[in-house]
Structures are given as structure tokens and as C-alpha cells.
Amino acid sequence: MSEESYPKPNYYNADHGLRKMSTKAFEIENESFAIIDSEVGVHTYDELEWAIVRRVIHATADFDFAGKEKITFHGDVFASAFKAIEDECHILSDVEMVLSGINKQLTKELNLKTLCRISDISVIKYSRDNNLTRSQVAMDFSAAQIQNGIVVIGNAPTALFQLISMIRENRVKPALVIGIPVGFISALESKRELLRTPIPSITNIGRKGGSAAASSIINALMLIHKSRVR
């Protein structure tokens, strides 16, 4: 059989056997994806990018992520993310809500390590003593795990600004930054600064973001990787 004859991996939605989900759940998810495709219509994303964006819309029911606050891809996002996953990297999150949304089955199967230090006693004490946010301090205290890892920020612009500072100071070089903090204070500005770094990143235009959006992106990346290598 020629290489061209092999079926292409389904980046949109790997089969339910691969994902250990029921046929019913799989059918519901596919129906939801069909609705998203229909309502979005023509778009400029390639196949892999759309696999990410569609899952964010599925997780949030917010079509702005493909519209006025669209998700953007900066640098060689997929090659960098897949290499980090193959190397069994750390996945760092800014808050526990993002961490809780990361698929535990996938991280276990891919032998990835997850970390969020926002509730560490040392982080809490240092943030109070120095009038800093806990998410900012947690990012600073996680430098060793950030190196060559994937950072997922869905809530705290201060965490993203701290990470950007660490990158510019050559303290860390993550493989990928998923920077999609939500909010009215500094969320948009932190995303703009992220795009000025040389690090591959996934972010969006505007104030929207959040835990569900951030965790859906890393979950989609893990699922796509698993679909590619099976």
C-alpha cells in the first residue's frame, strides 16, 4: 500500500476507542462539531489549527474564538509541542482550575507531568511578603519545570507577564506557551507582549480566555499527538 493510500489521522476527533469513550458520547461530540463547522463556515485556519480552535469553541460555546477575538498561532507551534510531548515534558498551569481541566488519562498515557504551584505555602508567603500575585510568584518558582515544557495560562495576566519577563531574561525557554488569560486588567496587553517573544505560542485577540479555553487547547494538542503516533 502506498503512503498516499493510508487513511489520514483524524485531527478533529480521534475515534472513541482511542479515547476510551462510549459510542454515544462520541456521537454527541461529533454532532456538536458539525454544528460548529456549519455556524463558523469559511475560515482561514489550516487543518491542525482548526482542530484546536474547534475544541475551544466546543468547550466554551463561544464563536468569537474564531471571529473577532480569534485564536492565533505564533511560530512552529505543532512541531515544538509534539517534540516536548515526546520528551515527556512538564505541563505548567497558572491556576488549579486550568490544571483540573487537563485530561488526566492523556497525561498518564503520554507520561507527562503536570504542575501548578499557586497553593504552595512558600508561594503564598512570598506573594504576601512582597505584594505580588500568587500566580506571578508560582510561575517564578517553577522555572526548572518551565524549561522545555508547555505552559498553560488561562486566568492570570500577571502570570503571563512574569513568564515573558523570565523568557526575556533568558531564565527559561519553554517549548510552547498557551497564553489565553481572561479579564479586563492587562489580559489583552499580556497577549500582545507574548507575540513579541520568539517562543511558539497559542493566544487570542482580546479580553476573552479562561480555564476551559486554556485546558481545551492542551487537551487537543495531546489528542492530536496521540492520533498521529498510534
Question: What does the alpha-carbon distance between residue 143 and residue 151 come to, in Å, rounded to a whole number?
Answer: 11
- Buried b / exposed e over 104-140, threshold 16 CB at 10 Å, is eebbeebebebebbbeeeebeebbeeeebbbbbbbbb
Segment holding 13, helix H or strand E: none
Question: What does the alpha-carbon distance between residue 51 and residue 93 come to, in Å, rounded to a whole number?
Answer: 22
Question: What does the alpha-carbon distance between residue 196 and residue 182 come to, in Å, rounded to a whole number?
Answer: 19
Query: Is-catalytic flag, 225?
Result: no
* Distance from the Cα of residue 198 to its chain's centroid: 17
Catalytic-role residue among 16, 43, 58, 90: 58
Please give the grid coordinates belonging to residue 64: 468569537
125: CB partners within 8 A, 6+ apart: none
Q: Mapping DSSP to helix (H, G, I), strand (E, B) and coil, where does residue 61 land?
A: coil
Give me the residue label for grid cell 468547550.
59
Q: What residues act catalytically?
A: 58
